[in-house]
Amino acid sequence: MQLAIGSSSQALGTDGHRLGAMQRLETPMRRYSEDEVVDFLVVGIGSAGGVLIQRLARAGFQVVGLEAGPFWDTERDWVSDEADSHKLYWEDLRITGGDDPITLGANNSGKGVGGGSVHWAGFAPRFHPSDFRVYSEDGVGADWPITYQDLKPYYELLELEMPVSGPVWFPWGDPHGYPFGPHPMGGVGNALIRGCTKLGIGVSAGGPVAILAGSRGDRPHCIYRGFCLQGCKVGAKASTLITHVPDAIRNGAEIRDRSMAGRIRLGKNGRVDGVSYYDAEGREHLQRAKAIIVAGYAIETPRLLLNSACAGHENGLANSSDTVGRYLMVQAGNVVLGRFEELVRMYKAPPAHAMTEEFYETDRRRDFARGFAIQTVSPLPIAFAKHMMAAKGVWGWGMRRVLMDYNHWAALGLLGEILPWPDNRVTLAAERDHFGLPVAKVIFSLHENDKKLIEFGKNKVIEVMQAAGAQEVVQDSRYAHLVGGARMGRDARTSVVDGFGRSHDIPNLFVCDGSILPTQGSANPGLTIQALAARTADYLISQADDIFTSGRRDLTRPPVRRHLSPPGTHGVGIPRIRSG
Ligand SMILES: Cc1cc2nc3c(=O)[nH]c(=O)nc-3n(C[C@H](O)[C@H](O)[C@H](O)COP(=O)(O)OP(=O)(O)OC[C@H]3O[C@@H](n4cnc5c(N)ncnc54)[C@H](O)[C@@H]3O)c2cc1C
Ligand code: SF4
């Protein structure tokens, strides 16, 4: 009997493991025994972990991934139903606090193979060159230890691998075009274009978004039903579950789902040698490895490092700088809703399909540093009801009337850069989860620059909505996109990892996810997180011998290994621009 992917007890069905309407995973997964010392152990198979494990497997390494959530079979597990999609999120206990606490739960991070890329909207803009040198340019935040040019080849690779649909020319940051043609406009995109055009603001129509505008290989094109945040049962939206994980498994990677890492174990010579984790039944196991890469995202990565405190590392692993958990960031994500006389029908398009980055850069005429983007958001009815409850205070019959009017409303989102502050941080709470592990406590407060930016940005989005012709405009304040908490930097006294994600303290311990971002720009972070993962993979492949056996650190830039892309992602479909 073959074992089903993601389970040790179910037989593989005649259909194989289903990943989208047309994609089947037939290959049985390789299984390593626990006493085998594998080359790389990746904790968390989300946006970054999925790309990383795929490349390491394709390069021929023995690699195991531990994933706390399930290995989704999209036909069996998913429904196009807003109410039933919360299981895609990390909803375990977390404690929130600070002056401006982050609402934790359904709108933060994913749980399950694919992680946050399963429920993301798919907006995939690049960061701007200025994002990598915020301190040098604006005297705030931090500089990255790498430049835009270091990441550019990986942006180009990932834009083909996902792939990203968008305009032939995107004028902001480092101007470039997209490999797949743009999507047609939905009602909200039309409102954004109308409002921006009236105010003389440039706007990008139809992307950049990691959703197929035409079918490619075993993935169909978008059918414009708007369930992107519910996982996209169709398989048109990119998630590492369908873009990278299948290739990882075909190349010999093992992904152990429902496996919650609890502690990283310190072995001899100041090196880590394994991870203890809990299976679905709560049994504890230890997987040994020559090198460990943590890819659990902005809250769970610091939590795991802090929970792994041991003799000699009493404040947590990789934390001699006392930086683990600090500089946690979210982006300002205010949602502005406008009512139009004509029908808008928000749900009849992907939420992500038009944007402007006209206000992205620092403008010396404003009284704050950095900037923001404006994007389509298009909530489905339950999310819309929550926004309207907060924005208008409606409830009961009032809410019913508002919901009956849903098809006349459009929603635009602010995406504003909040700066990294040391007091915005993840620590361990006294409360424990059902494995007995201390849960994360997240403290978050806005600072003066953040508040000024949000006020200006929010008013600009309102202005655009009014210019588009909305009769009534309301807004709901919220945050989007966690990053930071294990930031990269050149200085071991002020950062956790170097520019390749290697911890300053422990030579065979790496971090590879959104937690390593020193600043966040006002672009959605997912593409950058995956591009960084591909770059870290190239480094691990180049330096594997040293990483496995010594403490030597060689920061030579690795070659860009284009041949490690998943097959069929280059030169097929309807690419507009080919990478070099
Ligand atoms: C509603 C919503 C919409 C979004 N839309 C966009 C968008 O349009 N564009 C964009 O760029 N970004 C978007 N994002 C953000 C994006 O999803 C994240 O930035 C991105 O997925 C983070 O990638 P990551 O690899 O760092 O972490 P994740 O993708 O979250 O992966 C981390 C994985 O690690 C696992 N894990 C954690 N701890 C452990 C442990 N101890 N043991 C085992 N496994 C563990 C988790 O279960 C998870 O699968 C959105 C986020 C939300 C909430
Ligand atoms: S709108 Fe397109 S990308 Fe979004 S869920 Fe539907 S098919 Fe998938």
Ligand 2 atom nearest 349 alpha carbon? 1
What's the alpha-carbon Rg for the chain, to the nearest Å? 22
Closest-CA residue to 295 (of 549, 37, 509): 509
What's the confidence (pLDDT) of residue 7? 53
Ligand 2 centroid to Cα of residue 237, in Å, is: 6
Ligand closest to CA 241: 1
Contact in structure between 350 and 209 (CB atoms under 8 Å)? yes
Question: Ligand 1: which atom is nearest the Cα of residue 301?
Answer: 38
Which ligand neighbours the alpha carbon of 209 most closely? 1
Report how far residue 563's alpha carbon sits from residue 251's, in angstroms, rounded to the nearest whole number: 14
- State the residue for tokens 């996109």: 481
Q: Contact 20/74 with Cβ under 8 angstroms? A: yes
Tens digit of pLDDT per residue, the chain (580 long)? 345 565 544 445 566 799 988 888 988 899 999 889 999 999 999 999 999 999 999 999 999 999 999 999 998 899 888 888 778 999 999 999 999 999 998 778 899 999 999 999 999 999 999 999 999 999 999 999 999 999 999 999 999 999 999 999 999 999 999 988 999 999 999 999 999 999 999 999 999 999 999 888 889 999 999 999 999 999 999 999 999 999 999 999 999 999 999 999 999 999 999 999 999 999 999 999 999 999 999 999 999 999 999 999 999 999 999 999 999 999 999 999 999 999 999 999 999 999 999 999 999 999 999 999 999 999 999 999 999 999 999 999 999 999 999 999 999 999 999 999 999 999 999 999 999 999 999 999 999 999 999 999 999 999 999 999 999 999 999 999 999 999 999 999 999 999 999 999 999 999 999 999 999 999 999 999 999 999 999 999 999 999 999 989 999 999 999 999 999 887 665 656 554 4
Mutate to test the pocket of ligand 1, among 53, 109, 111 (most ligand atoms within 8 A of CB): 109
Ligand 2: atom nearest CA of 235 is: 8
Residue 88: helix, strand or coil by DSSP? helix
pLDDT 10s digits, 537-551:
999 999 999 999 998
Contacts of 508 (CB under 8 A, 6+ apart): 271, 272, 290, 291, 292, 547, 548
- Smallest-distance ligand from the CA of 227: 2
Q: Other C-beta atoms within 10 Å of 408: how many?
A: 19
Peptide bond into 163 cis (omega under 30): yes
For residue 146 the two structure tokens come to 């790498």
Residue 470 — φ and ψ, nearest 5°?
A: -65, 140
Whose alpha carbon is nearest atom 14 of ligand 1? 120
Best mutation site among 481, 487, 510, 529 for ligand 1 pocket (most ligand atoms within 8 Å of CB): 481
Residues with CB under 6 A from ligand 2: 211, 222-228, 232, 234, 236-237, 350
Give Cα separations from 87 to 23, 95, 231, 353, 558 (angstroms). Answer: 22, 19, 10, 25, 38
Which ligand lies nearest to the CA atom of residue 349 in the structure?
2
Q: Which of the listed residues 225, 241, 347, 377 should we mutate to test ligand 2's pocket, taking the one with most ligand atoms within 8 A of CB?
A: 225
Task: State the distance from the centre of ligand 1 to the C-alpha of 397, rounded, in angstroms.
Answer: 37
What b/e sequence results for 299-331 when a residue is b if at least 16 CB atoms lie within 10 Å of its CB, and e otherwise? bbbbbbbbbbbeeebeebbbbbbebbbbbbbbb
First to last CA, the chain: 45
Can you read off the two tokens belonging to residue 421?
């502050």
Pure H helices in 344-437 = 381-392, 396-404
CA of 345 to the centre of ligand 1 (A): 28
Ligand 1 site residues, Cβ closer than 6 angstroms: 43-49, 66-69, 90, 107-112, 115-117, 119-123, 229, 260-261, 295-297, 300, 304, 352, 481, 513-514, 524-527, 529
Q: Output the six-digit token pair for 354.
A: 């038009």
What are 152-165's pLDDT values in tens digits? 999 999 999 999 99
Write 392-396 long-range contacts (CB < 8 A, 24+).
392/474
Where does residue 322 fall: left (phi above 0), alpha (psi -120 to 50 degrees), or beta otherwise?
left
Which ligand 2 atom minimizes the distance to the CA of 122?
3
Please choose from 224, 239, 353 the residue to mutate so as to test ligand 2's pocket, defined by most ligand atoms within 8 A of CB.
224
**Ligand 1 pocket, mutate which of 300, 378, 439 (most atoms under 8 A from CB):** 300
